[in-house]
A and B are shown apart, each in its own frame.
Chain A
């Protein structure tokens, strides 16, 4: 029963009361990781260190001195966060075998609170992509591909078509983390979010994906994609758990000069009963081309849900939304070109055998170490940064970015508290279909609903809402005001309670925890 429960209300309580031991929890997760290996969610499983951490946690519980709610809780971390002593690869040949000497601040915070680090999860190479299909360790498979719910709706029409070719993607780039949480191999996972990389896979994998306000959580130790937009993302099975993780991670970090100096107080989410004072905004531009009719209907249904409960629901406009994708591409590729300049094979990482000259060594190293997606973005970015192009592209994009951010400011100033939008255009695509288009095309399509929040630095969250006709998860997104995570999560929690998203029925999970599904209606808490 413990495997399925909310952290604060169930798992932590169970640990404290001794109903389950940290080592047992850890071992169950490790066993489940092994039996769900086909998902390819993990790049590195840190079995030894995890068990050791679990043992230490157990000692603390025995002494009656747990460090907090997260003590003994198994978590997973996306493989673009530095973890001391454990390989950090970014799913790239450039960093295969790279053992970082330091922990990212968020990793350190989790460890300091007794969390058990199970391993590093799979992603698109250097977090570039929206499918978690373009890393050197292969694609991540969406656990829902193997769920009873999906299989029921997708009986293979003819032999030899079978679930091997029917599996769907997780979305990306934090697909491994989303799959890990979705398949119960951990209780929470860290992702990163630059254009939607936490919310997108959260939607496709039926889990909660939180993108915090830029500057609320430290990026020290997160290998950057776009420094001015990246944030560490939180993936959990319920909104309450996201609040717990947020509470343990947020706050000023002297090692990251872009974190807010303002104090942060961790909070527990109230159980909202009265939404009549709430104003929900529905941005019309998010009815984007390609939005599936299914999701459109769900979005509408959700708006009605709020209306019927007494909230004020208004249509609003964020007029610069259509420009955000191109603007994002200019700024993203420019920063990528800059951030990737350090990978030259000299100080760490892959170094080519080419020895003719320093320059040829650099060129060969970078050709061998980076995939096409990364190299493509570097070339584009350098183009935009050329002196003759800088004003036309980079500065222009910065100005458009300001306009996009101002759209949100205006709407929030007009009295709207929270925005409600779809997270993705459709449910998860089958892998074979997804790879028909290239990474750049897919990213442009898939980021469209999530990426403006990164431009504006706002907090946003995906809440799993319902299953599609194909039996796959669909989520909806809430976007809040800067640093108003408490309000955002409170509303998200209310919504979560209303929709009662079903629990995934996975054979592997059931085998491991046979009494898990006895009392199941909602995803988590009591």
Chain B
């Protein structure tokens, strides 16, 4: 049987972290009472006009720079028309002709095997980043045959990040999205929490035989977590392969991922191809961005965005942070990934290292094995850890000074998890876990043991 080459591309919508919406002054807030954050413009009241939110543009520029994109100094806004209850104006304002950023790349890493012992770096091309409005939410009440519309989310700023079909499976897509998530959170341009709808991923999947043209692709939507993303993609790849091997064809359709059944199903409401009748947004002039060279001398600072200024102020991206951790602390690259992958863990680690004489290479084991596995077992975040970095550092110091054995240290740690407020030293004293340092005393104990077990000693001496 000829091998199949799966091809995976992604369309990611990241909600911009800002106080107000993309084109109006109403607030951006998760889980507010329905229709409590709706301005006249959001409700599409006739005569209202869009006014561009500066913070949203800055967020998109930051993200574009972090993803190695070219920032378009002139970008345009367009209207994308379709009728739906959660789209009050009957059109979405987006950037179809000329988006704000293009031609970037994202590097991400995968483990070759399950043991996190060998990592390989891959790259996916970023086609573009565009600014656009989020829609409201509609909830279907089938029992009463009605649809309830909440416009709180209508008009919130989104960055749509389009990743080219350079990925080959669910794992790669998941790793790429995870890395994007970390970047966005580091920049602060989006909080990117999938569970709160701040990061939405649609996957484009197709399969083909090597050397042949790309196959028909399907779009998979309704994916609510990174784990489900990998599952949905892998399922869809399998489904397409089976379908084709059985002589069937793949429809260019949109499918929804059903997380309960673990499969993709065709979506209703998407009959035929939509013509969105794109048209330039006449109420927004072209968005002009400047850099140090092109910035006019007497421009009002409030009115302009300087790309170079933003570039200079970008924080260290995750890849840079990882490198620094490896260089500074001598830990393995895989370790740096895990540190950054868990919110707050890198800071915890560094805090411990600061407070202990134990070498970072040894500290990392305690962090990644003992601390992290405990947190995972109890579904706790680093912030929720009953053991603070101070406590752990104290414990590791006792171990480093050889005041306790490593077995004893694990025992103390187990006790510390209870969160009863005792210090490691107190627990050591309580449970009498101190290592004896006195040579003479040790000899006396050993002699006493030997004397008390004369028969066993003879057996041992005889072999």
| A interface list, Cβ under 8 A from B | 81-82, 88, 90, 95, 100-102, 104, 219-224, 226-228, 254-258, 261, 334-335, 337-338, 340-344, 346-348, 358-359, 362, 382, 385-387, 390, 394
Cα distance A340–B40 in the bound complex, in angstroms: 16
Contact A385 B88, beta carbon cutoff 8 Å: no
Within 8 A of A (CB), among B86-133: 88-91
Given the known interface contacts A100-B45, A257-B51, A385-B278, the answer about A338 and B79 at a Cβ–Cβ threshold of 8 Å is: yes
Does B275 lie at the interface of the complex (its beta carbon under 8 Å from any beta carbon of A)?
A: yes
Given the known interface contacts A254-B51, A258-B285, A359-B83, the answer about A347 and B279 at a Cβ–Cβ threshold of 8 Å is: no
Contact A220 B48, beta carbon cutoff 8 Å: yes
Contact B43 A221, beta carbon cutoff 8 Å: no
Which of A228, A341, A387 neighbours the largest number of chain B CB atoms within 10 Å of its CB?
A341
Contact A344 B40, beta carbon cutoff 8 Å: no
Given the known interface contacts A338-B91, A341-B81, A346-B88, the answer about A82 and B47 at a Cβ–Cβ threshold of 8 Å is: yes
Contact B52 A257, beta carbon cutoff 8 Å: yes
Cα distance A390–B47 in the bound complex, in angstroms: 26
Q: Contacts of A254 on B, CB cut-off 8 Å?
A: 51
Given the known interface contacts A341-B89, A341-B91, the answer about A390 and B81 at a Cβ–Cβ threshold of 8 Å is: no
The residue on B at minimum CB distance from A215 is B285
Contact with B89, one of A261, A335, A342 (Cβ below 8 angstroms): A342
Within 8 A of A (CB), among B25-55: 40, 43-52
The residue on B at minimum CB distance from A98 is B46
Given the known interface contacts A82-B46, A348-B45, the answer about A382 and B277 at a Cβ–Cβ threshold of 8 Å is: yes
Q: Contacts of B303 on A, CB cut-off 8 Å?
A: 261
The residue on B at minimum CB distance from A348 is B45
Q: Contacts of A382 on B, CB cut-off 8 Å?
A: 277
Can you name 15 extra interface pairs (CB under 8 A) apart from A257-B284, A342-B88?
A: A81-B47, A82-B45, A90-B46, A100-B47, A227-B283, A257-B283, A258-B49, A261-B303, A335-B279, A346-B85, A346-B88, A347-B43, A347-B88, A385-B278, A387-B275
> What size tier do the contact residues of chain B reach?
20 to 34
Contact A335 B275, beta carbon cutoff 8 Å: no
The residue on A at minimum CB distance from B147 is A358
Sorted nearest first, the 7 A-B pairs with minimum C-beta distance are A341-B90, A385-B277, A227-B282, A228-B282, A342-B44, A223-B46, A221-B47
Given the known interface contacts A220-B48, A255-B49, A342-B88, the answer about A335 and B282 at a Cβ–Cβ threshold of 8 Å is: yes
Contact B47 A223, beta carbon cutoff 8 Å: yes
How many Å from the CB of A323 to the closest CB on chain B?
20
Contact A347 B49, beta carbon cutoff 8 Å: no
Cα distance A344–B43 in the bound complex, in angstroms: 12
Does B368 lie at the interface of the complex (its beta carbon under 8 Å from any beta carbon of A)?
A: no
Q: Contacts of B149 on A, CB cut-off 8 Å?
A: 346
Contact B81 A338, beta carbon cutoff 8 Å: yes
Q: Contacts of A342 on B, CB cut-off 8 Å?
A: 44, 46, 88-90
Q: Contacts of B90 on A, CB cut-off 8 Å?
A: 338, 340-342, 344
Cα distance A102–B40 in the bound complex, in angstroms: 9
Contact A390 B147, beta carbon cutoff 8 Å: no
Which of B44, B50, B303 neighbours the largest number of chain A CB atoms within 10 Å of its CB?
B44
Q: Contacts of A258 on B, CB cut-off 8 Å?
A: 49, 282-283, 285
How many Å from the CB of B108 to the closest CB on chain A?
35
Cα distance A341–B52 in the bound complex, in angstroms: 21
How many Å from the CB of A328 to the closest CB on chain B?
14
Contact A220 B49, beta carbon cutoff 8 Å: yes
Cα distance A358–B89 in the bound complex, in angstroms: 15
Given the known interface contacts A341-B89, A344-B83, A362-B83, the answer about A220 and B47 at a Cβ–Cβ threshold of 8 Å is: yes
Q: Contacts of B50 on A, CB cut-off 8 Å?
A: 257
Cα distance A258–B50 in the bound complex, in angstroms: 10
A contact face: mostly helix, strand, loop, or mixed: loop
Q: Contacts of B277 on A, CB cut-off 8 Å?
A: 337-338, 382, 385-387, 390
Cα distance A347–B44 in the bound complex, in angstroms: 8
Cα distance A95–B46 in the bound complex, in angstroms: 10
How many Å from the CB of A342 to the closest CB on chain B?
4
Contact with A104, one of B47, B283, B285 (Cβ below 8 angstroms): B47
B123-153 near A? 1/0 per residue, CB < 8 Å: 0000000000000000000000001010000
Contact A219 B46, beta carbon cutoff 8 Å: no
Q: What are 15 contact pairs spanning A and B, CB under 8 A?
A: A81-B47, A82-B47, A88-B46, A90-B46, A95-B46, A224-B47, A254-B51, A257-B52, A258-B285, A335-B279, A340-B90, A342-B89, A342-B90, A385-B81, A387-B277
How many Å from the CB of B288 to the closest CB on chain A?
12
Contact with A101, one of B40, B49, B52 (Cβ below 8 angstroms): B40
Cα distance A430–B143 in the bound complex, in angstroms: 58
The residue on A at minimum CB distance from B283 is A227
Q: Contacts of A95 on B, CB cut-off 8 Å?
A: 46
Q: Contacts of B43 on A, CB cut-off 8 Å?
A: 347-348
Contact A256 B279, beta carbon cutoff 8 Å: no
Cα distance A337–B284 in the bound complex, in angstroms: 18
Given the known interface contacts A257-B51, A342-B90, the answer about A347 and B45 at a Cβ–Cβ threshold of 8 Å is: yes
B51-94 near A? 1/0 per residue, CB < 8 Å: 11000000000000000000000000001010101001111000
How many Å from the CB of A504 to the closest CB on chain B?
33
Given the known interface contacts A342-B88, A362-B83, the answer about A101 and B45 at a Cβ–Cβ threshold of 8 Å is: yes
Contact with A257, one of B46, B83, B88, B285 (Cβ below 8 angstroms): B285
Q: Contacts of A219 on B, CB cut-off 8 Å?
A: 49
Cα distance A254–B50 in the bound complex, in angstroms: 10
Cα distance A222–B44 in the bound complex, in angstroms: 13
Within 8 A of A (CB), among B161-217: none
Cα distance A82–B40 in the bound complex, in angstroms: 12
Which of B46, B79, B285 neighbours the largest number of chain A CB atoms within 10 Å of its CB?
B46
The residue on A at minimum CB distance from B300 is A261
How many Å from the CB of A254 to the closest CB on chain B?
7
How many Å from the CB of A369 to the closest CB on chain B?
12
Cα distance A386–B46 in the bound complex, in angstroms: 24
Given the known interface contacts A257-B51, A257-B283, A341-B91, the answer about A390 and B278 at a Cβ–Cβ threshold of 8 Å is: yes
Cα distance A237–B321 in the bound complex, in angstroms: 72
B264-299 near A? 1/0 per residue, CB < 8 Å: 000000000001011100111100000000000000
Q: Contacts of B88 on A, CB cut-off 8 Å?
A: 342, 344, 346-347
